[in-house]
Amino acid sequence: MKSCFESGLLFFFFCIGQSISFVKENLPLPTYSTILFTNRIEKKLKYATEKRLKREFRKKRSSKQSEVSRKREFEIVDAGFDFVFGIDEAGRGSIAGPVVISAVHIPRNATIQIEGLKDSKQIREESAWSTVLVSPQRIDELNIQESILQGMSEACSIMTSRVDSNMNRAVSGIKEFHYDDKGIYFASNCDQETNISNAYALIDGNQVPKSISCEAEAITGGDGSEACIAAASIISKVTLDRIMNEYAIEHHNYNFNTNKGYKTLSHVKAIRTWGCLQIHRKTFDPIKFMSFDENGKLVNEKSWKRGRMKVKQRR
Q: What are the start-end ranges of the E strands in the chain?
A: 83-90, 99-105, 128-134, 166-167, 184-188, 199-204, 215-219, 290-292, 298-305, 308-313
User: Does residue 305 have a pLDDT over 60?
Assistant: no
Cα 284 from Cα 136, distance rounded (Å): 10
CA gap 85, 127 in Å, rounded: 10
Dihedral (CA of 15, 16, 20, 23) sign? positive
Quick one: how far is CA 210 from the chain centroid? 23
Chain CA centroid to CA 8, Å: 71
Residue 167's pLDDT is 45
In whole angstroms, how large is the CA radius of gyration of the chain? Answer: 28
DSSP 165-194: -EET-----TTS----TTSEEEEE-S-TT-
Write out pLDDT tens, residues 81-100. Answer: 989 999 999 999 999 999 99
Predicted local confidence at residue 189, as pLDDT: 82
pLDDT band of 67, cuts 50, 70, 90: confident
| Residue 119 exposed, middle or buried by CB count within 10 Å (0-12, 13-18, 19+) | middle
Coil vs helix vs strand at 305 = strand
Instruction: Give per-residue pLDDT as tens, 186-209.
Output: 888 876 555 577 899 999 999 999
Q: What is the pLDDT of residues 239-266, one digit of tens each?
A: 999 999 999 999 999 999 999 999 999 9
CB atoms closer than 10 angstroms to residue 160: 24
pLDDT at position 23 over 70: no
Residue 286, classified by CB atoms within 10 Å of its CB into exposed (0-12), middle (13-18) or buried (19+), is: middle
Residue 5: pLDDT over 80? no
Share of the chain above pLDDT 90, in %: 46
pTM listed for this prediction: 0.73
Q: Is the pLDDT of residue 27 over 80?
A: no
CA distance 87 to 147: 14
Contact 205, 94 (CB under 8 A): no
Peptide bond into 28 cis (omega under 30): no
Among 25-29, 74-78, 96-100, 197-201, the range scoring the smallest mean pLDDT is 25-29
**d(Cα 37, Cα 45) in Å, to the nearest integer?**
12
Task: With CA atoms as reference, report the closest residue to 235 among 305, 148, 171, 299.
Answer: 171
Cβ neighbours around 282 below 10 Å, total: 15
